[in-house]
Amino acid sequence: KNEVEQSPQNLTAQEGEFITINCSYSVGISALHWLQQHPGGGIVSLFMLSSGKKKHGRLIATINIQEKHSSLHITASHPRDSAVYICAVFASGSRLTFGEGTQLTVNP
């Protein structure tokens, strides 16, 4: 079992819908990272969290350290949000572990 589990693996939504992607982890961490990988392969860092909540435009990321869980929300989704969203955790000793990613498709 992977130390970082994401759900769902695949998600299809209609434009305008509110989207939630979940990440659960089983190790103690110093921080958690949400990444976006575009269909062309490029990877962009969205958020780095160690507590609470962060917001950037239509994207919101939350983390609950006690429950070892993070969520990425997208409000008013758009087809250009279609991508793979990857959760990564920074465990002790600077070890970095990735989830398997969530493929999001937003249809017009």
Partner 1 sequence: DTAVSQTPKYLVTQMGNDKSIKCEQNLGHDTMYWYKQDSKKFLKIMFSYNNKELIINETVPNRFSPKSPDKAHLNLHINSLELGDSAVYFCASSQGRSWETQYFGPGTRLLVL
Note the residues at the interface with partner 1 (CB under 8 A): 30-31, 33, 35, 37, 41-45, 48, 50, 84, 86, 88, 90, 94-96, 98, 100-101
* Least Å from the CB of residue 79 to partner 1: 20
* Least Å from the CB of residue 96 to partner 1: 5
Reduce the DSSP state of residue 42 to 3 states and report it.
Answer: coil
| CA geometry: angle 49, 50, 52, nearest 5 deg | 80
Q: Cα separation of 16 and 32, whole Å?
A: 27
In the bound state with partner 1, the residue whose beta carbon lies nearer, of 17 and 91, is 91
